[in-house]
Amino acid sequence: MRSRAIKDLARYKDCELFSAVAEGLAYIHENANRLADAALILNENQNIRGVRILESIAKEEAAKYLILLDAIRCPRKPDDRFSQHLEKFNQHLAKGLYADACNWRPIHFREIKELIQSECDEYYLDGPNDIDWIFENWIIRQREEAFYVDYVDNEGKHAWLSPKTYEDISLAAPLPRRTPAVVELANDLHLVGFSKPDSLSIVAAIWRPVSIIDETRFQDLRELIHRNLEKLASADVLAKVGSRIEERWPFPLYDLEMREIPTKKSKLKEIQERWYPEL
C-alpha cells in the first residue's frame, strides 16, 4: 500500500474523478463530524487539551472537503495546475488556510490572495505596535503547540513550551461550546448533495469555465455559488443552508501557493530598528 497518493487523482478522466472524489468527500464529512462531536464531549468534561487537539484535526479534515471541491472547480489543463493543487490535501498550512478562509469576507479576490500570502510567512512581526516581537507562522505554531511539548529559543532565552500552558488558561475561562465554521460548511455542502458524482459533474460544468481574477468581487462569487446550489438542492434545503454556504464557501483557491515563505529574521529586526512611534 502507498499512502498519500492523492495526486494520482490527476490521472483519472472526469467520470472516474467525480466518482473517486465523491467517495472521499463522504468519508471526510463523516470523519470531521466524529472528531468535532468528540471535541464537544471533551469540552463538556473540561478536557481542554483534548478539545484543542481534536478540534484542530476536525478542522483539517473539513478543510480537505473544500480542497477536493476546489479540485473539481479547477480546470484540468494545464496538467500541473490541477496536480499541484492536489498536493494541498496533505499540507498542514494549506488546510489551515482553507479552514480560516471560511471566516473571511474579502471584497474581491485580490484581498484573499493578499491575506493568504501574509499568512504564509515563516516569521512575522506583531505586538501592541505591530512590530514588537517576531513570531513563527501562526497556523503551524498553534497546531504544534496544541499537540506537542517543545523546547524553544525566544531571542536567546530558552524554555519548555507545553500544551498544559493553554490548558491552564482555558480552565480559567472555559471554551464555549462550538463547532468550527469549516466543519459547519462541510456539513452544509454535504446536505445540499455535493458528495455525489452527479453533483460534482455540475460543479465542474459551472466553475471550470470561470476565470477568477483579482477584480472578481465577493458578490460575483455569491452569485456563482447560488447558481450552483439551485442546480443541486430543493427550495427547503436552500432555505436552511443556502445563505450560510454563500457566505462561507471561499473563492476557488487552486491557483494560490500555500507553502511557507522563507523569511529572514534579520530583515524583520531591521524593520524593528527603523520603527519609531507616530507623533
Q: What pLDDT digit, counting tens, does each position of 138-188 carry?
A: 999 999 999 999 998 877 789 998 998 877 766 555 556 678 999 999 999
In a domain, 145, yes or no: no
In a domain, 83, yes or no: yes
Distance, in Å, from the CA atom of 28 to the CA atom of 32, rounded to the nearest integer, reads: 6
| Domain that residue 194 falls in | 12-112+174-248
Distance, in Å, from the CA atom of 126 to the CA atom of 123, rounded to the nearest integer, reads: 10
Higher local confidence (pLDDT), 51 or 253: 253
The structural domain count of the chain equals: 1
In a domain, 181, yes or no: yes
Q: What is the pLDDT of residue 269?
A: 81
Average pLDDT over residues 60-65: 98
Cα–Cα nearest to 182, from 29, 21, 20, 47: 29
Dihedral (Cα; 125, 145, 117, 69), 10-degree rounding: -160
Mean of per-residue pLDDT scores for the chain: 91
Confidence of residue 272 (pLDDT cuts 50, 70, 90): confident
In a domain, 64, yes or no: yes
pLDDT exceeds cutoff 60 at 56: yes
Please state, for a pLDDT cut of 90, what percent of the chain lies above it.
Answer: 72
- CA distance from start to end of the chain: 64
Query: 72-81, 196-205, 220-229, 246-255 — which is least confidently predicted?
Result: 72-81
In a domain, 211, yes or no: yes
In a domain, 147, yes or no: no
Average pLDDT over residues 220-245: 95
In a domain, 108, yes or no: yes
Q: What is the pLDDT of residue 278?
A: 67
Q: What is the pLDDT of residue 48?
A: 86
**Residues 6 or more apart from 39 whose CB is under 8 A from it?**
50, 51, 54, 55, 58
Confirm if 159 and 76 have CB atoms less than 8 A apart. Answer: no
In a domain, 82, yes or no: yes
Give pTM, 2 decimals. Answer: 0.92
**Cell output for 43:** 469540552
